[in-house]
Structure 1
Amino acid sequence: MLRVLIADDEAMIRAGVRGILASDPAIEVVAEAADGREAVELARGHRPDVALLDIRMPGTDGLAALSELRALVPGTAVIMLTTFGQDEYIARALDEGAAGFLLKASDPRELIAGVHAVAGGAACLSPRVARRVIAELRDGAGARGRRARELAAALSDREREVLGMLGAGLSNAEIAGRLHLVEGTIKAYVSAILNRLSVRNRVQAAIIAYEAGLVGGEEPR
């Protein structure tokens, strides 16, 4: 059973999200918060597998709560859930260690799939958000691309292979299946990759994989 915390200052939104998640018997909503401060306190008490945080909340907003959660409850994967799709929110959320970013206008199936994805160690980006991120990577491919290739070059061949699959959005179980390895071995590879790249989570590692040309068969620039 996946344990989920919902944080949004609008009761109607919380009820809607709770209703969507209730349609999946494998998900249990264990706590709800109306602001970021309450979300952090509840997460510390309940230790949910996944926290869904609205970006715009009174007092401590979702981005500030995200930063605290990553420090205090690192085992909780965080998905930012918002009506806003501005690039600055996306960049800040990913920078602070969000495992996913979904728009409230997303298909309900996206929300359920996203919860399962981040709980399983994968990343989750709304297609509209992913398009923005990829476009930004392409627009600034020069210096960032060179740096990403330098970082990737310091990895072993197997680590680069795992990084490319991680960048393609595969979960640990899926990568293990592709490489005919046990999932525990993939977890160890991913942990080593994150440490060697000096990044907080899989989303940031995936961005480096894109920048280094390791995803989708693209040649490095």
Structure 2
Amino acid sequence: MMTPAQADEFYARLAADRPNPKSDLEYVNPYTLLVAVVLSAQATDIGVNKATRPLFAEVRDPASMVALGVEKLEQAIRTIGLYKTKARNVIALSHILLAQHAGQVPEDRAALEALPGVGRKTANVVLNVAFGHPTIAVDTHCFRVGNRTGLAPGKNVQAVEEGLLKITPARWGRDAHHYLILHGRYVCKARKPDCTVCCVNDLCQFQGKSI
């Protein structure tokens, strides 16, 4: 595991490499962000964006989504994996937002995780991206980077998240989630990491890295 000083330098270099990190998912407000993240489970951001561009041009709030209905939503997102289950979850969570939260996405972890199709990772993304909380949503990229580099190794997602929250300096907390995801997606890739162009190569503890 890295030392706090190494972790700070690690993030400083990622920040220099990608000074304006942001989610690859396209959205127009907290509600469409929530829907996009729910749809992105076991799917690519590119695939989700292709389906949601025309959808979000017309549907941008829970009331409009409920009015659209399950069948039309299924047709709109049919190119996304598990689209039938996801459509039911989106309609159900939209009903709950209208009934319990005045149609607004709650800025509260427990309330978010109580919504259909929303787990800890999704709640972390919404809290971070929509509301600026220093949460770290550990997806496959974060999990890989945390373990491979030695930044925050752990046997499961929860362990890596706890390790990242502990080792990440406060000044990087707001954007740490995006730094790690983007680095994992475009540089520290699963099958063949681009170690020769990696900005944190010398800090990385991966024994199989190329120099």
TM-score (norm 1): 0.28
Structure with greater contact order relative to length (CA < 8 Å, sep ≥ 6): 2
TM-score (norm 2): 0.29
As a proportion of its length, which structure holds more strand? 1
